[in-house]
Amino acid sequence: MPAGGRTGHDQGWGGVSADTTAPITAATATAPAPAGAGRGRRRRSRTPVVAVTAVVVAAAAGAAAVVGLGGRDGGTAASGGLPPATAKITRQTLVDSQTFDGELGYGQTHTATLRAPGTITSLAGTGSQVSRGKPLFAVDNAPVVLLYGGLPAYRTLAAGVSGSDVKQFEKNLEALGYSGFTVDEDYTSATADAVKRWQEDLGRPETGRVELGQVVYADGAVRVDTHKAEVGNPAQPGQEVLTYTGTARVVSVSLDVDDERLAKPNATVSVTLPNGKDVAGKIADTETVIENNNGGGNGGSDPVTKIDVTVTVADPKALTGFEQASVKVAFTADARKDVLTVPVAALLALAEGGYGVELVEGSSTRIVAVETGLFAAGRVEISGAGLSEGAVVGMPT
């Protein structure tokens, strides 16, 4: 440094001199200089000036770095001037909360497709609810019914067949009131007899076999969303017939992967409805999905990973009058109750590591090392010796 030059902090708002060769203490900061003491007897420190870190980007211009505090146990420094602005230390509940756009509806949409050829002769109405054992549509006047389960139908079930799909089907058959067989993974002649009775009630041929395409599995009762085909259309395997959703009203939110910390299963959220009313909600499900991002150009762009969040509302009656609508969803990642906080811009980076704040006490200031906690809403949780609610800290211009 050139002789007679000034450190970055000499020029900044903190006013703490860095030109000393010994650690500054409370005693040396407040005691008067000895008689005859002059600047010629002092030697400027070679400690490098440390820049204010990225947490105070907004205040970086003109904000000074703190240097040479001689430790992190509450060192102090005499002030040659007051900071250009101040703020008070407050005691409050600090909440890391973010709000996103959401869509009120019925959740994820699924598609029912044909598995056997024929002609579509009926379709469940859009908006209608279909429960276990009821038809979603019919092909050649034979109903294709809804059953509950997570495993899709993928083969014909008949006597001698074994597997988890058999057990799933037999659970449904028993739930529909048919008996005389054991619910297990074996499709026996007793199962076939019960199936014949079920087929008779449906008006299907009594074969005792469950052919591929006779049932559609879903997690529970469904709501028919849209029709993909019309009555009278010829049916071919793989053809889309209709789409369906769950029956419960839910809110769907798409988050970036950077916000995954907010998507905690069973966490409480707040949903703001179009009429301005806030209702409590809970995260019921999260799913990582990869979306194609075409970007509007011929070349497109790479797929984008998203977190799809499903939120249920505690009071479904509050949704009356809203079929499908845009809403706001406030997620809370973390919260700290009854903590001391300062604006993030009040933090200073210490040369020895960590952060400090400049306490303003009348016409003087001192630097106090702090431990930081939660950052939220432009403020930061702090703790350390010498800190109290209402105390004044220096701020950049």
Q: Quick check: do 8-96+336-395 and 110-246 share a fold?
A: no
**CATH 2.40.30.170: does it fit domain 98-106+249-333?**
yes
Topology adopted by domain 8-96+336-395? 2.40.420
Q: What is the pLDDT of residue 323?
A: 79
Instruction: Render 164-188 in DSSP notation, one character per residue.
Output: HHHHHHHHHHHHTT--SS--SSB--
pLDDT of residue 308: 94
Q: How far is CA 232 from CA 51, 137, 198, 241, 358, in A?
A: 75, 12, 26, 12, 80
What is the pLDDT, as a whole number, of residue 315? 92
Q: Enter the tokens of residue 363.
A: 């016409």
Reading the chain (397 residues) residue by residue, the pLDDT tens digits are 333 333 333 333 433 333 322 332 333 333 333 333 333 333 333 333 333 333 433 333 333 333 334 333 444 444 458 999 999 999 999 988 899 999 999 988 999 999 989 999 999 999 999 999 999 999 999 999 999 999 999 999 999 999 999 999 999 999 999 999 999 999 999 999 999 999 999 999 999 999 999 999 999 999 999 999 999 999 899 999 999 999 999 999 999 999 988 999 999 999 999 999 999 999 999 999 988 766 545 555 788 999 999 999 999 999 988 878 999 999 998 889 999 999 999 999 999 899 999 999 999 999 999 999 999 989 999 999 989 999 999 999 7
Task: Measure Cα distances from 112 to 136, 252, 341 in Å.
Answer: 9, 22, 55
Q: How do the domains of the chain map onto residue ranges?
A: 8-96+336-395, 98-106+249-333, 110-246
CA distance 168 to 54: 56
pLDDT of residue 80: 52
CATH of domain 110-246: 1.10.101.10
Instruction: Indicate the residue type of 126.
Output: T
pLDDT given at position 84: 94
Is the CB of residue 52 less than 8 Å from the CB of residue 63?
yes
C-alpha atoms less than 13 angstroms from C-alpha of 289 in its C-beta half-sphere: 14
pLDDT of amino acid 377: 87
